Structure 1
Amino acid sequence: ETSPAAETSHQKLVAIGDLHGNLEEAKQLWLNIESRMGAEDLDAATVVFLGDYCDRGPDTRGVLDWLVQLRDGRAAGTTHFLAGNHDFGFAAFIGMLPIDKPHQPPLDLETTKNPRFTSGYWPYPVVGGMHYQGRRWAEGYTYNSDSAFASYGVQFDGSFEMRDRLIKAVPHSHKDFLQRMLWVHEADRTWGRVVCVHAGLNCESPLAPQLAALKARDLSASCLFAGSDSGRIAAMSERRSVEPMHPELTSLEGERPSWLVSGHHGFTSLEGKRLIIDASGGLPAPGRPIQAVILPERAVVGSDPTGAFRQSSDPGTPPPRGAGEAAPRLACKGQRM
């Protein structure tokens, strides 16, 4: 028979923000979460990584090695990995799109590049085509992907040959990890429904078809596009349209609350049930740690040596934002903040 304490632990969910190649900070954050929760409670909890494991920091390869080992050391089904826009670009570039049949995409991948774009992407032909975000990722500047190449010992020079060099350097376990990444994770708990997605849900798109397409990892679903741009998946890449709480997730009286949890935005905010966990923006520094949030208690844990434990007891009062914050919070049409 399950004890009440064990049952409570199984109800907990830990959402971990963008890691961006920062292995030492990721390891310290994990130790701090364990210190905050206790090893047994962390083992029993559901852990959701919110995406963006690569680029910017010095050790993309080390981060993916660590995540694979962490996943394999935990109970099956307790650890989930979302695709961030950086990871999606990396996966697209090496031919491991996070879709059910990466070598049989449901649309012509070359059509995902707007024909008006004439620069700012890796331009070479690829058999079977390449999603535009893969080409954009390999341009280097936008995604700071040169650090990912370096972590695999591959020279970033913008050449046709660098793709083959990277494909050969990335181990099978990493390719498998990238291909299996989820686009959304939903969890039902006694204390509410939790939707985790890298950037957020597109307020301009109805909730039900959007969630269905994210679960199906459907590249061809127009409800996921940023406007009419098939080359940008809003839930991974956008800012203004996905930052607020989706109005259809707002709880009705008597229903369990719904939470929407993301990283991506370069700040941390705990406004109501819309949680954004990304104080570092991939560039951790004093006062800008990599962070996680423990639910339902809303405890924020950082990668600082002390853990920087902070708990938001008033869901209506956001914490102060640090450097690198995004534009002021927006409300979706029809949504009251």
Structure 2
Amino acid sequence: MAASNSNTTNKERVLICIGDIHGYITKLQNLWSNLQTLIPPSDFQSAKIIFLGDYCDRGPDTRKVLDFLIHLPSKYPNQSHVFLAGNHDFAFAAFVGAVPPAPDGSPFSATWDEFQASEEREGWYKEDGYEKMHLQGRRWAGKITVRFNADNVCIETDKGLQSCKLIAVHGGLERGKNVGEQIKYLKAKDTRILKVEPLSGRKSVWDIPEGSIYDAATTFESYGVPHGSPDLMKAVPDEHKKFLADLVWIHEEDNVCIETDKGLESCKLIAVHGGLERGKDVGEQIKYLKAKDTRIPKVEPLSGRKSVWDIPEELSKSQTIVVSGHHGKLHVDGLRLIIDEGGGLERNPIAAIVLPSKTIVRDTDKLGK
């Protein structure tokens, strides 16, 4: 780990930020083991650890991941743990009734209006309990349809002639895997892949992939129920619902030490899953994020992309670290830290950053024990 400069001590508290886990319990266990190996025991036992959100979906073991996280405080009582909500976690929580009511008492159905035009295409959940469900819960448990697209391929169906999108691939698309990511690597002809399942698979590519825009099917399956089933509401244990309900949308920390090109500096840190919106008042964003304002249909700091990539200009003039996951990239640029090397893909590692040194640790690192 990087040495502190001569004006500081060597005992700055270790702070670890862990990127998106997305249901991969073995990766999480390996990453945790590597952190224990790399960091001196006394520093690890007293570390502050910020999990940057997106614990569920895509990978196969959401239930086991939540069990692991829930038991950390009792196993490591001298550590301090912060669990941020990712956009996937918020949607999961919304489906199982683990989000707070709107502060003005408005019904969650009021969150549907702005995005109603997407309901059919995204196949929003419309079974037991949907009437009182937040938009993101309905989207999370929905089933994407293929009846809509701008590609305008006409086909006769039992409902008559319909205009559809057509995807042609030699074998098919894998079920249980993100369709967008499959299309991306197939278009790129990614030759790093040893066996291209969409070209050579059999049973795994037989059916049209089912699932929501959140790739939530694996989360349902980890609790023993099929995707989109209302039975998940009963299958999720109360302690898991409490964990989801207690997730914070933003975390602020003062006096965080970080190595910079000017040496070791003490900064304010803001952790939020996606980032803070540019062009919006930072104070107002922090206020509604702390309040977990569920009147908002789509929480941009949890789910945005380009709009939350950079540190807002309002903060760029101060010594403020902004750390996030979400973006499917590892990006360390000055005080803007984006730690999501995995992106929920099986072939990618889960990463963490250790402060003050800015050391990157991955589940795939082969460290001497």
Instruction: Name the residue aligned to 1:198.
Output: 273
**SS of 2:77 mapped into structure 1:** coil
The match for 2:134 among 131, 134, 140 is 131
Q: What letter is aligned with 1:115?
A: Q
Instruction: Name the residue aligned to 2:4.
Output: none
Instruction: Name the residue aligned to 2:290.
Output: 215
Instruction: Name the residue aligned to 1:95.
Output: 97
- 1:122 and 2:184 correspond: no
Q: What letter is aligned with 1:24?
A: T
Is the alpha carbon distance of 1:203 and 1:103 closer, same or farther for their aligned partners in structure 2, counting shifts above 3 Å?
closer
The match for 1:296 among 356, 363, 366 is 356
Cα separation, 2, equivalents of 1:15 and 1:307: 19
Cα separation, 2, equivalents of 1:33 and 1:95: 34
Q: What letter is aligned with 1:118?
A: E
- 1:184 and 2:250 correspond: yes
Instruction: Name the residue aligned to 1:149.
Output: 220
**SS of 1:54 mapped into structure 2:** coil
Is the alpha carbon distance of 1:211 and 1:62 closer, same or farther for their aligned partners in structure 2, counting shifts above 3 Å?
same
Return the offset for 1:189. Answer: 1.3
Total equivalences in the alignment: 279
Q: What letter is aligned with 2:294?
A: L
Return the offset for 1:90. Answer: 0.4
Mapping 1:67-106, distance limit 5 Å: 67-75=69-77, 78-97=80-99, 99=100, 102=101, 106=105
* Identity, % of aligned positions: 39
Return the offset for 1:115. Answer: 2.8
Mapping 1:190-269, distance limit 5 Å: 191-220=266-295, 230-252=296-318, 257-269=319-331
Return the offset for 1:107. Answer: 2.8
Question: Over residues 78-135 of structure 1, what are the superposed CA-to-partner deviations in whole Å (9 max), with x where a residue is unaligned?
Answer: 10100000000100001111x3xx4977432111112323311112362761111000
**SS of 1:116 mapped into structure 2:** helix
State the structure with bigger RCO (CA 8 A, min sep 6), 1 or 2: 2
The match for 1:47 among 19, 31, 49 is 49
Is the alpha carbon distance of 1:112 and 1:43 closer, same or farther for their aligned partners in structure 2, counting shifts above 3 Å?
same
- 1:27 and 2:29 correspond: yes
Return the offset for 1:260. Answer: 0.3
Return the offset for 1:175. Answer: 0.6
Q: What letter is aligned with 2:67?
A: D
Is the alpha carbon distance of 1:127 and 1:280 closer, same or farther for their aligned partners in structure 2, counting shifts above 3 Å?
closer
Question: Over residues 184-237 of structure 1, what are the superposed CA-to-partner deviations in whole Å (9 max), with x where a residue is unaligned?
Answer: 1111115111100000011131111111211121223xxxxxxxxx31100111
Cα separation, 2, equivalents of 1:10 and 1:66: 27
- 1:270 and 2:332 correspond: yes
Cα separation, 2, equivalents of 1:267 and 1:20: 14
Is the alpha carbon distance of 1:265 and 1:65 closer, same or farther for their aligned partners in structure 2, counting shifts above 3 Å?
same
Return the offset for 1:284. Answer: 3.8
CA contact (8 A) 2:103 2:293 kept: no
Return the offset for 1:271. Answer: 0.8
Cα separation, 1, equivalents of 2:137 and 2:53: 16
- 1:174 and 2:240 correspond: yes
Provide the TM-score with structure 2 as the length reference. 0.71
Q: Which runs of 4+ in 1 moved over 6 A?
A: none
**SS of 2:71 mapped into structure 1:** helix
Cα separation, 1, equivalents of 2:97 and 2:103: 11
Instruction: Name the residue aligned to 1:312.
Output: none
Q: Tell me, which stretches of 5 or more residues in structure 2 are unaligned?
A: 1-8, 143-210, 257-265
Instruction: Name the residue aligned to 2:107.
Output: 108
| Greater gyration radius | 2
**SS of 2:307 mapped into structure 1:** coil
CA contact (8 A) 2:102 2:108 kept: no
CA contact (8 A) 1:196 1:260 kept: yes
